[in-house]
Structure 1
Amino acid sequence: MKKRLWPVVIGIFVLGLAACGKGGSEDSDNDIPEPIDVVLEVQETAEIGETVPFKATVTQGDEKVADADEVEFEIWEEGKKEDSEMIESKNNKDGTYEAEKSFDADGVYTVQVHVTARGLHTMPKKSITVGEGASAEGEDGHHHGEDGEEGHQHSEGFSMHFMKPENPAAGKQTELIVHLQNEDHPMENARVRFEIWNEGSDKHEFVDAKESEQGEYAAHYNFKKAGAYKIQIHVEDDQGLHEHEEHEIEVK
């Protein structure tokens, strides 16, 4: 009698293992976060002095994201990204985030919203023409790229946002973070390096960044002494993309 029970016991054991394996696979799939989607609303034209509203609607799948960690609108005039302005948004608690701004000069401006929510980051952008707009050439007669560097313009669909460190101090480790996006999606598996040098010095140091989250790359650097430093971010991928953007920070 006992011998007849053994096949039944073994069969139940095998089925149990199969069920556990299936359950583990489903759990693994559930660990992959669904991407967040951001719809940015900005009017195409405005008059000087007009109050212009900005609105971002954040969703994850069919769910409205009302608990974003950070939503900020960055605005800059074409060719002058180094002078950009950051405006914090108002959370309407329904998945929408709003801000507003008036412009005091003719020009073509970029409005980019930076959204950090549920461990993900995205940053769509749109353009707005104020007054009579502006020509593609700056006041010095040269074309400037989106990052303010003469002769360089980011590839279409590519964006980078350097999170300038707050109050960096000499002799202490400072975290350097940049967010990358390509075709409205976080850019993964890129090769990112921070080129760092003290203003007036010929010595340049390179620090490789690691991808800490989707589209987010981070590195640490110890500034030896106080002063003005320049940081140029280099981004490459296997498809031949090579982008760079220069920033300046003051170390106390």
Structure 2
Amino acid sequence: MIYKQKIFTILLASILLVTGCGGKNSDNNKEQPRTAPQKLTIQFVTDPKEIQVGQETKLIATVAKGAEPVKDADVEMEIWRDGEEQHQKLKAAPDNKGGYVTKQTFAAAGSYHATIHTTTSEIHQMPTFDFQVGAVSASPNPPQPAHDEHHGNLGLEIQFNLNPKVKVNQETVLKVRLQQDHKPFTGADVHFEYWKTNAEKHDYTAAMEQTPGEYGVPVVLTEAGAYNVRVHVKKGELHDHKETTLQTE
């Protein structure tokens, strides 16, 4: 009788142990909620600060995540002169301190733009900065305003579809329709860049393809007034931009 009780006790303890382990493993196997990646802080400067035509110039981007420099990003600078369609892409080399550097010599004076394509294992951002080369003389045919500028690329058509009446602190959808040769342009990498007019801070967000050739993303604009919206489209060797404005109230 005592022997049978011992056997029963051992079996019961074994069952409880297996059940406990199984419950623990089940908890460990539960999918943990994903958190949005922390945005990078990206700055851009030139050395020298005042660039002369024909002078070799360092183009420097610094990348940080919070207070920590990001030393392992992939950084490419896309440079173009205001009003021109030709863009030049330059690979930037890391300095192991959170800085990424390339060199360029500019053959003409004018206003230039630099889009800093920055990719880490968690996030992709591509802020655009403006800088000046030499002295700009008055031109009888000035370039079109930025929101009308469209850098055409292989017949790509970009059409914004934005809400004309946007309320402050209410969700609105930034949407764009892409076509090439009158067919939906699918499978593109599309990002929206938006900022309050005359503000230095730019926000960036990736868009999802909602229907073939149509891309959108919901955002909340927190201030009343005019905003600039720039869409970046990339697929293979094709890279295009277009800019417009919207009003919040």
TM-score (norm 1): 0.52
Seen in structure 2, the aligned counterparts of structure 1 residues 193 and 12 have a Cα distance that, compared at 3 Å, is farther
The answer to whether the aligner puts 1:12 opposite 2:13 as a matched pair is no
8 Å Cα contact 2:58/2:104 also seen in 1: yes
The answer to whether the aligner puts 1:72 opposite 2:76 as a matched pair is yes
Distance in 2, Cα, partners of 1:242 & 1:88: 26
Seen in structure 2, the aligned counterparts of structure 1 residues 41 and 244 have a Cα distance that, compared at 3 Å, is closer
Distance in 2, Cα, partners of 1:146 & 1:84: 18
Equivalent position of 1:236 in the other structure: 216
Aligned AA for 1:148? Answer: E
Q: Which runs of 5+ in 1 are unaligned?
A: 151-161, 166-175, 177-188, 198-203, 219-232
Per-residue CA shift, 1:186-215, capped at 9, x if unaligned? xxx986654112xxxxxx111333779x94
Aligned residues: 190
Equivalent position of 2:108 in the other structure: 105
1:103-252 to structure 2, matched below 5 A, reads 103-118=106-121, 120-133=123-136, 140-141=141-142, 143-145=144-146, 148-149=149-150, 193-197=177-181, 204-209=182-187, 215=206, 235-238=215-218
Q: CA deviation at 1:98?
A: 0.7
CA RMSD of aligned residues (A): 4.8
8 Å Cα contact 1:73/1:87 also seen in 2: yes
Picking from 59, 77, 83, the partner of 1:54 is 59
Query: Helix, strand or coil: the match of 2:146?
Result: coil
Q: CA deviation at 1:245?
A: 7.3
Q: CA deviation at 1:109?
A: 1.4
Per-residue CA shift, 1:195-246, capped at 9, x if unaligned? 112xxxxxx111333779x94879xxxxxxxxxxxxxx86433459986679
Distance in 1, Cα, partners of 2:20 & 2:67: 35
Equivalent position of 1:170 in the other structure: none
Seen in structure 2, the aligned counterparts of structure 1 residues 45 and 148 have a Cα distance that, compared at 3 Å, is farther
Seen in structure 2, the aligned counterparts of structure 1 residues 72 and 24 have a Cα distance that, compared at 3 Å, is same
Q: CA deviation at 1:124?
A: 2.1
Aligned AA for 1:73? Answer: M
Distance in 1, Cα, partners of 2:230 & 2:214: 6
Distance in 2, Cα, partners of 1:96 & 1:75: 18
Seen in structure 2, the aligned counterparts of structure 1 residues 39 and 52 have a Cα distance that, compared at 3 Å, is same
TM-score (norm 2): 0.53
Seen in structure 2, the aligned counterparts of structure 1 residues 117 and 142 have a Cα distance that, compared at 3 Å, is closer
Equivalent position of 1:171 in the other structure: none
Per-residue CA shift, 1:19-56, capped at 9, x if unaligned? 2233224x745x76845735333149523234332223
Per-residue CA shift, 1:139-197, capped at 9, x if unaligned? 535633267339xxxxxxxxxxx9x89xxxxxxxxxx9xxxxxxxxxxxx986654112
